[in-house]
Amino acid sequence: MPYYKPLKNTSIANRKRTVNGLQRLRQQLIDERFPNKKSLDSLILGTWNIRNFDDDRFNYGPRMEESMYYIAEIIARFDVIAIQEVCADLWPLKRLMRILGRNFDYIFTDVTHSSLGGNKERLGFIYDKSKVRFTGIAGEIVLPPKLMISEVSSKKRQFARTPFGADFQSGWFKFYFSTVHIYFGSNSISSDKYKRRVEEINAVAKYLAKEDKKSDSNHILVGDFNIKERGSDGYNALEKNGFEIVHNKKGSNRDQTKHYDQISFRAKKDELVFLEPERDDRTFQFFNSVFRKEDFSTYKPIMKKMIGKKLEKANIELTNATSQTKKKKAQKQIDSLNEAVLSDTSLKEYYEDWRTFQMSDHLPLWVEIKIDFSDEYLEHLKDYSE
């Protein structure tokens, strides 16, 4: 469980608000039958795009300490989880890891410097060392010439954000865990940008399918695929390359209307057993417990204070601007912030986005799989002969 003791050092108001939120989250996890960690029997694996963690480039942050506790409370329920959209500054990640405690560790990529939509993001994994062992093998996926992504102009390219994979073992289960944040582009299926999105999904799935044939590990591919919907070209690209997709009735975006995020497997024979295979929803809607719509009045003074500080900073930047471009940027920020506090209606609209930059605009997905095959192995030994 997360390390709660530092909450003693916060103000009474902040501490009570955070503790109440944590208690609601914990009860929701129980009510929705989120699996409990079983040290020998099963592995709880997941994926979560934690929106823009955490450089405030969109002017809605930074995350409060309260939010870090909520995020840690959720991540602590996983044995291993893939994370997307971690930014260049690793200090927020280290703050999160301090709350998670010494049993947890992480492995992340460097930032993506691509001008083709990389957004200076990192991909990686957070895992419970008492349950999951990193075997020492990890790498970003660089496509060979034959698999490079085609452009309308006939040029070939790599991914906008390079997929990342690492080899792990938990119990009897060996798995090569890969994560992606696929280029979005456009939702218009006739557009070249949408076709590029589908090409990225097809390329990573095809590459890993080839690698799977040479490996004794099970391949797990997860992340933010920006998949439009079940049965769409992007979704089909995973299935046609032999990946079994974990079906979710509800979407993984904030409003649960889009199936952007996915968990998929290419498993060895008899090595993938789902617990609760009949379950048709493995999303976790944390906004039912924290930063709820009805909490607007609670956060209203906090948002106003944050906006006030941003206005002071933006006004200084406007005064010191040395070019028209910088002046326009500062003025645009000032206008936007002033608009946000113009009325309760506009501040409520701001709150809708602000809360996603405190938590995320994506929901975590999870799956629980069997990792103890000792009974099966003992049965096998009965008939074993050299």
Interstrand relation of 164-170 and 218-224 (parallel, antiparallel or unpaired): unpaired
Position 114 pLDDT exceeds 70: no
Q: What is the DSSP string of 347-372?
A: HHHHHHHHHHHHS-SB--EEEEEE--
Position 229 pLDDT exceeds 90: no
Q: What is the mean pLDDT of the chain?
A: 93
Q: Which pLDDT value is given to residue 153?
A: 57
Position 108 pLDDT exceeds 90: yes
Q: 370-383 burial by CB neighbour count: b if 16+ within 10 A, else e? A: bbbbeeeeeeeeee
**pTM (2 d.p.):** 0.95
Question: Is CATH 3.60.10.10 the right assignment for the domain spanning 5-290+361-381?
Answer: yes
> CB–CB of 252/260 below 8 Å?
yes
Residue 40's pLDDT band (boundaries 50, 70, 90)?
Answer: confident
Q: Which pLDDT value is given to residue 384?
A: 79
Residue ranges per domain, the chain? 5-290+361-381, 294-354
Of residues 77 and 149, more confidently modeled: 77
Position 238 pLDDT exceeds 90: yes
Mean pLDDT of 25-30: 97
Residue 151's pLDDT band (boundaries 50, 70, 90)?
Answer: low
Backbone conformation region of residue 117, classed left if phi is above 0, alpha if psi is from -120 to 50, else beta: left
- Checking 111-116 for CB contacts under 8 A at 24+ apart, the result is 111/87, 112/160, 112/161, 112/162, 114/158, 114/160, 114/161, 114/162, 116/157, 116/160, 116/183
Quick: pLDDT tens for 324-380. Answer: 999 999 999 999 999 999 999 999 999 999 999 999 999 999 999 999 999 988 988
Work out the percent of the chain whose per-residue pLDDT is above 90.
Answer: 81
Residue 112's pLDDT band (boundaries 50, 70, 90)?
Answer: confident
